[in-house]
Structure 1
Amino acid sequence: MRVFVGVPLEEAAIEALLPLQGALRQGRLVDEENLHLTLAFLDDQPEDVLAELDAALGEIRVPALELEFTGVEVKGGRRPALVWADVAKVEPLRRLHDKVRGAARISGIDLPRERFRPHVTLARFGRSRPVDMGRLTAFLSEYGGFCAGPFPVERFCLYASTLMPEGSFYDVLADYPL
């Protein structure tokens, strides 16, 4: 099963992001029920590993924290792949990220080393459709300095991710309170 660990967004955080998606008007927008902050993408994992992971994630104890949006960026250089809202990399969030990665390692999941750039993906650009770079540049000029929050975070989740032609579908497998 293809899985990841992430932070679901509270309604107020989603409401803050929806106008950005409305203004972007290109790419494949992430459905509002799928907006989240990924802590660790774990790829395909067998059931026995997921059972160990669930137990390890359930042992994580960190206090509730807050998310704050601190800008909008494009990933992908000349050929944009994603538009996302940056999230402030505060110590409690970094600590949660580290503990989730530790739980994955304890469960036997080998994760690549990568820099943690907390963000919420707003839209994806496929290879088959051209990107209107003028419109994207204008969007970034207007919304690049977007700030909102703080928004409370009281839980994180283990999600299943099913790839569909129209985009990914996420299903919460387990919920962990902070």
Structure 2
Amino acid sequence: MIRAFISVNLTPGIRQKIGEAERDFDMKGIKLVEPSLIHVTLKFLGNIEEAKVGEIEAALKKVSVRPFKARMRSLGGFPNPRNPRVIWVGAEGDFAELNKQVEALMEEIGFPREGRFQPHVTIGRVKFPTPEQKQDLPGLFEKYKDFDAGEMTVDSIHLMKSTLSPKGPRYDVLKEIPLAR
């Protein structure tokens, strides 16, 4: 069994800019995501049989979204900036349509649909909110509301393997699927 998800992986330049912004959020109780691991999750698959990789790849090749320009900008917190559990950077572009098609194709091969999709990249998780965080985070979100990590062309999606360890997760590309031309 392998733990898997489907993503759009970001360019090194965008990851670097996001990593620079992350430094302001490096405080007790917040677990930041290593910049090299930042991505847009289209669908989390969970634990799958390794033999299912070919079937998933074949289904993903049916995605009919054409390559598109995407921009990673703005920064906020889910469920809200006053009491965030997740710190995110917004992902602009044709992600909603891409997610819709991925969800439909994965449902056809036995993966249940997930709930509402909000295109973003997770840059941190607030584990143990402190009074200082509750005071400081809204101001940081305001500081970064116009944050712009840059633009990229989304021309492929990735089937990823996630390996969890005490040092943190490691992500490996199992399959890269080009978008329709």
Which TM-score band (shorter chain)? 0.7 to 0.9
The alpha carbon displacement at 1:144 in A equals 2.2
Query: Would the aligned equivalents of 1:42 and 1:109 in 2 still touch at CA under 8 Å?
Result: yes
Query: Would the aligned equivalents of 2:33 and 2:122 in 1 still touch at CA under 8 Å?
Result: yes
Per the alignment, residue 19 of structure 1 pairs with 20
* SS in structure 2 at match of 1:167: coil
**Distance in 2, Cα, partners of 1:101 & 1:147:** 28
* SS in structure 1 at match of 2:17: helix
Q: Which residue identity does 2:87 align to in structure 1?
A: V
Q: Which residue identity does 1:22 align to in structure 2?
A: R
Per the alignment, residue 111 of structure 1 pairs with 113
Per the alignment, residue 84 of structure 1 pairs with 88
Per the alignment, residue 169 of structure 1 pairs with 170
Q: Which residue identity does 2:35 align to in structure 1?
A: E
Query: Would the aligned equivalents of 1:12 and 1:151 in 2 still touch at CA under 8 Å?
Result: no
1:50 to 48, 53, 64: 53
The alpha carbon displacement at 1:55 in A equals 1.2
Q: Which residue identity does 1:30 align to in structure 2?
A: V
When residues 67 and 17 of structure 1 are mapped into structure 2, their CA distance, relative to the original with a 3 A threshold, is same
Q: CA RMSD in A?
A: 2.0
Q: Which residue identity does 2:19 align to in structure 1?
A: L
Deviations, residues 106-164 of structure 1 (Å, cap 9, x unaligned): 2211123x11100011112224x746222222211211232343222221100111222
How many residues are treated as equivalent by the alignment? Answer: 174
Query: Would the aligned equivalents of 2:57 and 2:177 in 1 still touch at CA under 8 Å?
Result: no
TM-score by length of structure 2 reads 0.85
Per the alignment, residue 30 of structure 1 pairs with 33
**Distance in 2, Cα, partners of 1:11 & 1:44:** 28
TM-score by length of structure 1 reads 0.86
Structure 2: 5+ residue stretches without partners: none
**Distance in 1, Cα, partners of 2:65 & 2:101:** 9
Deviations, residues 90-119 of structure 1 (Å, cap 9, x unaligned): 4x322211121122112211123x111000
The alpha carbon displacement at 1:66 in A equals 1.6
Q: Which residue identity does 2:36 align to in structure 1?
A: E
Per the alignment, residue 95 of structure 2 pairs with 93
Structure 1: 5+ residue stretches without partners: none
Query: Would the aligned equivalents of 2:83 and 2:134 in 1 still touch at CA under 8 Å?
Result: no
Q: Which residue identity does 2:10 align to in structure 1?
A: L
**Distance in 1, Cα, partners of 2:125 & 2:20:** 16
Query: Would the aligned equivalents of 1:10 and 1:152 in 2 still touch at CA under 8 Å?
Result: no
Residues 47-56 or 94-103, more deviating: 47-56
Deviations, residues 5-45 of structure 1 (Å, cap 9, x unaligned): 00000122213212211222222211121010001111112
